Structure 1
Amino acid sequence: MNRTIIVARIQPDAERAVANVFAASDATSLPRDLGVRHRALYSLQDIYLHVIDFDEDPGVAMRKAVKLPGFRQISEELKPFIKPYDEQRWRTPQDAVANQFYRWSATER
């Protein structure tokens, strides 16, 4: 599995609006074009977590995404609601990706 977690800031009470933006986008071919298998959105106060499972390496998918009109459209639609976690350091979407530093999985029996 190729999972990535995007960390950002969400405007208060914007969860429904953000979910609607993604629901509309997920009804298009964009997720399939990028190899998205699963998406989950979370918030905790003003922290936004976007968990995405990809068919391929998330970095490859994100480099492909920035060239697609559908990705640029969803990015524009999210601007009123989602801001970079660290606006001083943010340059590209990759700057919002959390660094995995530990992983554990149950072994199959």
Structure 2
Amino acid sequence: MHSSVIVGRIKPGSTEAVAGVFAGRDGEPSGTRNLLRRQLFEYKGIYIHLQDHTQENLTEVVEHGSDEAFTPFLDAYDPVAGTAPSGQVATRFYEWHGQPVSDEHRMYSTVIVARLNPADIGTVAKLFGDFDTGTELPHTMGTRRRQLFAYNGLYFHIQDFESDNGGELIERAKSDPRFVQIQQDLLPYISVLDPETWRSPSDAMASRFYTWQVTA
């Protein structure tokens, strides 16, 4: 299963409209192409379009959802990059798979948003590699897949869970010494997007406002 993350800016009050457009398209047999799952998130005006698909074909998948129907609601995150689909795709720099799941197409994601200097991508990937392979915490807290993406100084930390309570599972784990340690290790490299409102990891979590998954 391959994933892509499209990044943009969503205008205030537009989540229902964007979700409605996708709901209509995803309900059509030809509307989903090779998609297995689509999730839309919003975080402080940042639009995060997470897709899981059957093959690494970003051109086909990304262009679906970038036409004029979304113009009243979405803008490019970086005007310099323009509105071309290729300029909106985040780069995945880390992926880890945990324990097997009964149906990988029926998982739910949490998305943490922060800032990351591109020069530190390799260090952050190594820290998570050591954490995921060297501790049992990712398994015990229920993480089934972890992906890290970077885009224009932004950092997206995506965790997949089999249930729709991933945020609660993360919150429960935050006092575990291993969780505290990885947070401290990441501190020099990951910075919060909005320090004035950040109080705990949950404050950096994007809100999911739309989900579609392929039927069995």
* Length-normalised TM-score, structure 1: 0.91
> For residues 102 and 26 of structure 1, what CA distance do their matches in structure 2 show?
29
Structure 1 residue 2 corresponds to structure 2 residue 108? yes
Extract unaligned runs of 5+ from structure 2.
Answer: 1-106
Aligned to 2:209: 101
> For residues 200 and 186 of structure 2, what CA distance do their matches in structure 1 show?
15
> For residues 112 and 171 of structure 2, what CA distance do their matches in structure 1 show?
15
Which of 118, 122, 132 does residue 16 from structure 1 map onto? 122
Q: Runs of 4 or more off by more than 3 Å in structure 1?
A: none
Aligned to 1:70: 178
Give me the identity figure in percent.
39
TM-superposed deviation, 1:60: 2.3
> For residues 29 and 98 of structure 1, what CA distance do their matches in structure 2 show?
25
Q: Secondary structure at the match of 2:207?
A: coil
Extract unaligned runs of 5+ from structure 1.
Answer: none
Q: Secondary structure at the match of 1:8?
A: strand
Would you say the 8 A contact 2:109–2:159 is kept in 1?
A: yes
Structure of higher CA gyration radius: 2
Larger relative strand fraction? 2
TM-superposed deviation, 1:54: 2.0
> For residues 43 and 74 of structure 1, what CA distance do their matches in structure 2 show?
19
Q: Number of paired residues?
A: 108
Q: Secondary structure at the match of 2:118?
A: coil
* Length-normalised TM-score, structure 2: 0.48
Structure 1 residue 25 corresponds to structure 2 residue 136? no
Larger relative contact order (C-alpha < 8 A, sep ≥ 6)?
Answer: 1
Q: Secondary structure at the match of 2:129?
A: helix
